[in-house]
Amino acid sequence: MTDLTPDAADAGTAPGARVEVFGIRHHGPGSARAVRRALDEFKPDAVLIEGPPEADAIVDLAAEPGMVPPVALLAYAPAEPPLPGDDAASWSDRRAAFWPFAEFSPEWQAVRYALDEGAAVRFCDLPAANQLVPPADPDSDSQPEDASEDDARIRLDPLGWLARAAGYEDAERWWDDVVEHRDGGPSPFPAIAEAMSELRERVAEQPSPAGLPPGHLVREEQREAAMRRTLRRALKDGFERVAVVCGAWHVPAILARVPVARDDRTLRGLPKAKVSMTWVPWTHGRLAERSGYGAGVRSPGWYAHLFAAPDRPVERWLTEAAAILRQEDLHVSSAHVIEAVRLAEALAALRGRPLAGLDEVTEATRAVLCEGADLPVELIRRRMVVGERLGSVPDDTPMVPLQRDLSDRQRRLRLAPSADARDLELDLRRDVDIARSRLLHRLRLLEVDWGVPAESRGKGTFRETWTLCWRPEFDVELIEASAWGTTVAGASAARAGAMADAAESLAELTSVVERCLLAGLSAALPGVMRTLADRAALDGDVAHLMDALPSLVRALRYGDVRETGTGPLRTVVDGLVVRVCVGIVPASRGLDDDAARDLLDRLDRAHSALALLDDAAHTARWHTTLASLVDREGLHGLLEGRLTRLLLDAGILTDVPDRMARAVSSGAAPARAAAWVEGFLSEGGLVLVHDDALLRLVDAWIAGLPAEAFTGVLPLLRRAFGEFAAAERRAIGDRVRHLPDASPARPHDDPVDPVRAGPATATVLRILGTEAGS
């Protein structure tokens, strides 16, 4: 332990005040235990912890029984009411920072110690208000990256670096071997402080090592100045035994004798953001990730076990592993566990380690419990080594009303958040399930994707399958979303309205309508509908109208399942169909190939939407429109072919063979003829295989082509049929060969005209040298 007679503590310090600085490894169970032991011995009356000082006000909550780690301190810029015209893009520009704590984090143990023993707790890092503003670092760009990678690693994980230097892959393992298992030895902290001083001296010569985030150095200086300042204040406040728990790297900096004025200068005038602070639940999976909010702990489950197990960590771990394998119906006996423990210990001895670690235990699991198979080992890794676990926070944690409303609803609908992804089957005929479905859809409107719709296994529109997985950052999303309202329903309705206002195209707007219906937001619906009707009336582009149609029809059709009022929707759809029918005729004039293809897609979608709508009046109007369209001069071949086909299927056109012949006759340009055939057969070869009538029609047309015309059409046919898969072409050929009552290859009923044939026959006979006897 490091005694310090702080020179900074000139005025007002209680005489004989003692300060001890404990350099720790973040999220290291070994450090956690050592800190706990050291604090028990030192009995401080104030504990300063590396963390944002804004959290001082809510640190008491950590002692509540409802607080179960892993949890995190969340600092966020409180959401401001969205300005009118604010759209989703600027909305996602959020600022938040997390300080995660697991049970085995030394900081958490220090907090718990202080709260249990009645010592004051203060967080001594740079305020989150300053940290949320990215540091201005004028030097960062100009510095050439000449220093080694190593230096960056020393700074970011100094204990890890020391471990690597000693030949260990895992820093915890090194800590365990070097520090933990020297029973009854002196406290490790003075040695750590010394080692850090050495390391810092080493890297001090190279000012800006490569591999560090920009501004890291400036920020580090500011943070350490803040730590020193907090320490001085604590001493000034009359605390006599002050313990500081911080990352090992900072120990020498806190002990350094730096003039007050210099720290004041460092910290003066830093830009500030408005910040609120709260606790949020965290997950082990998040701790395991190195990027984002993660802490880079590879095996949080193992660490938690090491910390929690009172004794015999290896035996307990393997017993638990056996229990998990048994749940999966893998036969594992106690004899297995005994042998696995023996193997783990023998391996540790062979590798010269004082105690079996995760490596040895995993090898033993593989060789004994899993009998050499890899799959169960992977199961153990997922369930135990990472050990997905979601923390919880007490009810009186500061929450925005929206979070409170959500947790209320979760309780009422019996949908507990869990960090493990699981599937949820909903039967929309049940009240509780429809309420759940609505809640999930509403949350999706708020961009909280707690549930993600999955492919439904069952048939029928009343089934819904979701995959539920709670991620810690959803709390941030909720806090952001709280600007929209205080309840999930209210906020999602307000957001839907805003999305509708901001929607640029009609299709976007209709998808908002659809989502409103799914989410059962009848309150938002009239407003959104009004916007939709206005937009549809003003939108002159028939393409937009056609894009909008399918999702609206879907919503209308399936609205009944969800017992949502669809009255206003019906009106909008009615208007839309009429507008599409009117608008499509001029819109289909003078199109080039690409535009025709676009229109063809839309036409198909609109056609199937109307089929789904199944409304006699609309269908009749649509068919009339198509029929008038197909006869227009100058229609693109692709469209004409497709329309002919649609009308043929609808049973409206009767002269399809003639039209077909006309379209590909010698008068028609080859490209157009090809497009026509392509449009006509655009549903693919399978239709021809299964639709006898159609096949017969096409077959008769081809068979009836005169020879020279056939030669002309052949390339077009080849092009159209070439699009089909080989298997389809073969199947079509088969079908044609076995068509019952196949059409004759040549029309039989073509009577011979003796008057016209006479001279030709005579000539042929003369050539052959046989004079016709006359």
Partner 1 sequence: MTVPDDGTVPENGSAPAPGPDDVLRPHAEQQYSGELALLAEHDDRPRPPGWRLSPWAVTTYLLGGGLPDGTEISPKYIGPRRLVEVAVATLATDRALLLLGVPGTAKTWMSEHLAAAISGDSTLLVQGTAGTPEEAVRYGWNYARLLAEGPSERALVESPLMRAMRHGMVARVEELTRMPGDVQDSLITLLSEKTLPVPELNAEVQARRGFTVIATANDRDRGVNELSSALRRRFNTVVLPLPESEADEVEIVARRVAQLGRALELPEAPAGLEEIRRVVTVFRELRAGLTGDGRTKLKSPSGTLSTAEAISVVTSGLALAAHFGDGVLRAPDVAGGIVGAVVQDPASDRVVWQEYLETVVRDRPDWADFYRACREVS
Binding site for partner 1 (CB under 8 A): 331, 333, 335-336, 339, 342-343, 346-347, 349-351, 359, 363-364, 366-368, 371-372
Q: Exposure pattern of 45-76 as b/e (b: 16+ CB <10 Å)?
A: bbbbbbbbbbbbebbebbeeeebebbbbbbbb
Q: Decide whether 337 or 613 has the Cβ nearer to partner 1.
A: 337
As a whole number of angstroms, the distance between CA 332 and CA 329 comes to: 9
As a whole number of angstroms, the distance between CA 726 and CA 126 comes to: 69
Q: At its nearest, how many Å lie between partner 1 and the CB of residue 117?
A: 44
Do the Cβ atoms of 438 and 487 come closer than 8 Å? no
Q: At its nearest, how many Å lie between partner 1 and the CB of residue 169?
A: 12
Q: At its nearest, how many Å lie between partner 1 and the CB of residue 370?
A: 8
Structure tokens at 116: 């249990």
Q: Decide whether 368 or 688 has the Cβ nearer to partner 1.
A: 368
Q: At its nearest, how many Å lie between partner 1 and the CB of residue 357?
A: 13
Q: Decide whether 295 or 369 has the Cβ nearer to partner 1.
A: 369
Cα distances from 160 to residues 36, 186, 290, 305, 426, in angstroms, run 21, 21, 14, 20, 48
Q: At its nearest, how many Å lie between partner 1 and the CB of residue 312?
A: 17
Q: Decide whether 367 or 656 has the Cβ nearer to partner 1.
A: 367
Q: Decide whether 336 or 623 has the Cβ nearer to partner 1.
A: 336
Do the Cβ atoms of 107 and 24 come closer than 8 Å? yes
Specify the pairing of strand 71-76 against strand 276-281.
antiparallel
Cα distances from 141 to residues 138, 145, 214, 470, in angstroms, run 7, 10, 8, 39
Q: Decide whether 240 or 363 has the Cβ nearer to partner 1.
A: 363
Q: At its nearest, how many Å lie between partner 1 and the CB of residue 46?
A: 48
Q: Decide whether 378 or 425 has the Cβ nearer to partner 1.
A: 378
Q: Decide whether 331 or 414 has the Cβ nearer to partner 1.
A: 331
Q: Which of 165, 78, 89, 176 is nearest to 128 (CA)?
A: 78
Residue 242: strand pairing partners: 19, 46
Q: Which of 297, 295, 300, 293 is nearest to 473 (CA)?
A: 293
Q: At its nearest, how many Å lie between partner 1 and the CB of residue 361?
A: 12
Q: In sequence order, what DSSP letters do the residues of 477-541 get, joined into one string? A: HHHHHGGG-SSHHHHHHHHHHHHHHH--SHHHHHHHHHHHHHTT-TTTHHHHHHHHHHHHHH---
Instruction: Count Cβ atoms within 10 A of the Cβ of residue 501 and give its class: 0-12 exposed, 13-18 middle, 19 or more buried.
Output: middle
Q: At its nearest, how many Å lie between partner 1 and the CB of residue 344?
A: 8
Q: At its nearest, how many Å lie between partner 1 and the CB of residue 322?
A: 12
Q: Which of 161, 132, 194, 130 is nearest to 25 (CA)?
A: 161
Q: Decide whether 304 or 344 has the Cβ nearer to partner 1.
A: 344
Specify the pairing of strand 120-123 against strand 422-427.
unpaired
Q: Which of 534, 545, 571, 544 is nearest to 556 (CA)?
A: 571
| CB < 8 Å & 24+ apart, contacts of 344-348 | 344/314, 344/318, 345/314
Which SS3 state, helix, strand or coil, does residue 547 take?
A: helix
C-beta neighbour count of 241 within 10 angstroms: 17
Q: At its nearest, how many Å lie between partner 1 and the CB of residue 515?
A: 44
Structure tokens at 647: 């009308």
As a whole number of angstroms, the distance between CA 545 and CA 541 comes to: 7
Q: Decide whether 144 or 372 has the Cβ nearer to partner 1.
A: 372
Q: Which of 515, 511, 516 is nearest to 526 (CA)?
A: 516
Q: At its nearest, how many Å lie between partner 1 and the CB of residue 350?
A: 5
Q: Decide whether 314 or 643 has the Cβ nearer to partner 1.
A: 314
Q: Decide whether 221 or 339 has the Cβ nearer to partner 1.
A: 339
